[in-house]
Amino acid sequence: MSSTRSDVSVLIPFSNENKEKEETLRQCPSVQVSEVIFSNIDEKETLLDYVQRVKKLVAEHNVNIILPTIDLSTFVHAAIAKDFPHIPGPSVESCYLAFHKAYTRQYLDSGESQTPYDVVDLDSPTMLQDAERALEKIGLPAFVKPAAAFDTFGVAKVENLEDLKRALLNLRTMRDENPGFTSSPSAPFFKDYFKQYLDVEKHPLALRDVVIVEPYLDAVALYTVDGCVVDKEIVPWTITDELRFDHQEAKFMTVIAPTSEPADLQERIWNVYMGVMTRMVQFGFNNCFTNIEVFRMKDGQLRLCEVNARGSKQMQGCYRQSYKNANQDYVYLAAGRGMKYTTPPQTGRWSSAYIVKFDKLERPGNLMDFDQLEKLKSDPDVYILLSAGPDDEVTNFTGSAGCHFCWVFTYGDSREAMIRKLVDVLKLITDELRFDHQEAKFMTVIAPTSEPADLQERIWDVYMGVMTRMVQFGFNNCFTNIEVFRMKDGQLRLCEVNARGSKQMQGCYRQSYKNANQDYVYLAAGRGMKYTTPPQTGRWSSAYIVKFDKLERPGNLMDFDQLEKLKSDPDVYILLSAGPDDEVTNFTGSAGCHFCWVFTYGDSREAMIRKLVDVLKLVVKKPERLTYPVHYGM
C-alpha cells in the first residue's frame, strides 16, 4: 500500500462528535485529514430530509469522503456519491439490496444452498391470512424479522401460526407507538428517499412495511466474512467465528478472531463471499467495506445469513490487535486514489468482540459499573465502546435478541487467554456470566482450578477450618468435600459440606490427577496407609450434569446409540442412571432434572470445553430444554 499523502475532508453521517474517532482518522498514514465533520439526524427528519441537509454540509465544507459506520449511513453515502461525482462510493441499489432482507435473498444469495422465504405486509388487510400462507410455504419452526431493520430488532422464532400472528401484531404496535424509531418497520421514514434515489417499480417493497418469514435455521456455526471493494476489485480480509448460545433463539453472538476452522472450510466460505460480492459489484457497489454472515448447517452446507454494505464495529475492534495494518476507516479515506489493498496478515494475537446484551434495559448505571469501565481504559488487553452513559435513557425493543449499550473487546496471546480476559472483565463490570438465567447459578465442575495461588491458599484455609471441626466431632477414615462461594467483595463463604466423596470429582480424577481414586481410600481404611495430595497430570477435565427443564422418556431427550459409541472415545466418560425407556421423575423447584453425567478431557481447558460442546451437540436431541447450555467460549 503506497501513495502520496493528500488532504481529505471527511463527513461521518448518523454520528455524534467523537474525539477518539477523529484522532484515529488523523493518524491515517496514506492521507492527510484536514477536517472531520460529525453529523446526526434530527428527531423529526426523514431520511431524505437528512440527506438534503448533509448535501449542504458537503458543499459548504468541500467534503470529499463520506465515512459510513451503520446501515442507515450507507444510504447517505450512496446518495451523496450519486449527486457529487467527485466523492467515491456505492450505488443506492447495491446498498439497498444488502439492507432489505427479502431482496438480499432474491438478488444476492450465493450460498451452497438457498434459503426459501416469504414476505408479509404489516398494512395488508389480509395480513393474518398472508401469515398462514407464508407458513404453508416455509414450514415450522420459522424465523420472522422486519425486512428493513437492523441490530437484531424484531427477530423472533415462531413455533405455530399463533406465534407468527402475535409477532406481526407486536411489530405493528411497536411501529405505530414509536413512529420516529428507525429500527422498527418504518416505511414512512424511507419512502421519499427511495422514490428519489431508487427504482421503486423494480423494488416495490421499498415503499411498504414488510417482514420476511424464513425457515428457522438450526445452524451449528456462524461466520462473519469481511472485506472491501476498491476500484471494483474485491479484496478479502478475514473470517471470524461466532460463539453459539443454545438457550437463545438468535443463537450466535460474540465474534472471535481469527477463525479456528480448517483451510478447506475457509476456502468454501470465501467462495460464498466472492459470489455475493461479485453480484454486489454488478449492482454498483464500489469503494466500500462489506461483511456477510454465513451459516454452517448440520449437513455441512453453507447458507447465507445476511449482507452488510459497511464495515463492522465488532470487526474494527478485533483488527486493533489481531491483524497488521488493518483499519476499515482508512480504506474509505483513501478511496478513489488508486490505492491497492491486500489481505492483512495476522499478528498472532486473539481477540473477541462481545456485545453486552440484557434481556431488558433499565438505567445503564444499574446494570453496569461505569467506574470499573473507566478503569479498564488503561488495560492494554481491553477496549470498551459505549453508546450510553450511566444515567442516559435507553430503549427496550419488542422481540429483539436482547438490548445493549456496551461493546467489550478483549485480547490475548492465545484463544484461552483472550476468553479468560473477557470472563474477568464481565465479572468486574456486570453479573451477566456463570449460568445467570438459573436461580442455582453454578453447575459443571472443571479441574484443575485456574485461580491464582494466593486465592487457592485462602480456599484451603476455609477447608482446613471446616475439617478441623469435623474431626473434633469424630469424622475419620472418609472422604469429604465442601463448596465455597467467592463474593463480590472478595470474601469467601461456606456454601455446603458433604461427608462423602463426589461422583463429579471422581470422574475428573480419572485423567487430571495421578493415583487419585476416592474409593481406594475407603478400601484401605484402618490399614495404616498414608496419603498425600495427588499430583496433576496436566490434563483438563469437566464434569457436566445434563439437566433438562423437564424430563420425559430419556430416549426422546438423548441419543443412546451415540452415547454407546462414545464409550470408545478416550476423552469422554459417560454415567447414566436410566435407560432410553425407563421412567424418570421431575422434581418441583429443582435446578433441572437429569439422568446423565458427561465427563470430557483435553490437553488444554479450551480442548476440554470444545469436546464437551461437541459431545452435547451429538447426544442431546432437544438442546433447547437444557437448563445449563454450554458453548465453546466458556
The answer to whether residues 429 and 376 touch, using CB atoms and an 8 Å cutoff, is yes
What pLDDT, on a 0 to 100 scale, did the predictor assign at position 622? Answer: 86
Q: Where are the alpha helices (DSSP H) in 62-126?
A: 71-83, 92-99, 101-103
Residue 521: half-sphere exposure toward Cβ, Cα within 13 Å: 17
The CA-based dihedral angle spanning residues 413, 416, 418, 421, taken in that order and rounded to the nearest 10 degrees: -120
Q: pLDDT of 583-601, one tens digit each? A: 877 654 455 577 888 999 9
Is the pLDDT reported for residue 517 higher than 50? yes
Q: What would the grid cell of residue 538 be?
A: 496436566
Q: Which of 197, 177, 175 is nearest to 186 (CA)?
A: 175
What whole-number distance in Å separates Cα of residue 14 and Cα of residue 8? 19
Q: Which of 154, 144, 34 is nearest to 400 (CA)?
A: 154
Q: What would the grid cell of residue 498 be?
A: 458433604
The domains found in the chain, sorted by start residue, are 7-92 (3.40.50.2300), 97-429 (3.30.470.20), 445-625 (3.30.470.20)
Q: Which of 577, 547, 353, 512 is nearest to 435 (CA)?
A: 547
Burial 96-119 (b: 16+ CB within 10 A, else e): bbbbbbbbbbebbbbbbeebebbb
What whole-number distance in Å separates Cα of residue 140 and Cα of residue 291? 29
Please state the rounded mean pLDDT for residues 352-366.
84
User: Which helix (H) or strand (E) segment is 123 a member of?
Assistant: none
User: Which helix (H) or strand (E) segment is 386 a member of?
Assistant: strand 382-386
What pLDDT, on a 0 to 100 scale, did the predictor assign at position 442? Answer: 58
Task: Identify the weakest region by mean pLDDT among 76-90, 233-247, 252-266.
Answer: 233-247
Which DSSP symbol is given to 113? S
Percentage of residues in the chain with pLDDT exceeding 70? Answer: 90
Which DSSP symbol is given to 206? G
- Going from the C-alpha of 106 to that of each of 185, 276, 540, the distances in angstroms are 20, 12, 48
- On whether the pTM is more than 0.75, the answer is no
Helix, strand, coil share of the chain (percent; to 5): 35, 25, 40
Please state the rounded mean pLDDT for residues 38-45.
92
What pLDDT, on a 0 to 100 scale, did the predictor assign at position 204? Answer: 96
* DSSP three-state, residue 169: helix
Phi, psi angles (nearest 5°) of residue 261: -75, 155
What whole-number distance in Å separates Cα of residue 358 and Cα of residue 363? 12
Label residue 52 left, alpha or beta by phi (over 0 means left) and psi (-120 to 50 means alpha).
Answer: alpha
What whole-number distance in Å separates Cα of residue 146 and Cα of residue 101? 8
Q: pLDDT of 97-111, one tens digit each? A: 999 999 999 999 998
Which DSSP symbol is given to 381? T
Which DSSP symbol is given to 345? P
| Mean pLDDT over the full length of the chain | 87
Residue 435 CB contacts under 8 Å (≥ 6 apart), including other chains: 441, 442, 443, 627, 628
Top pLDDT among 388 and 78 is at: 78
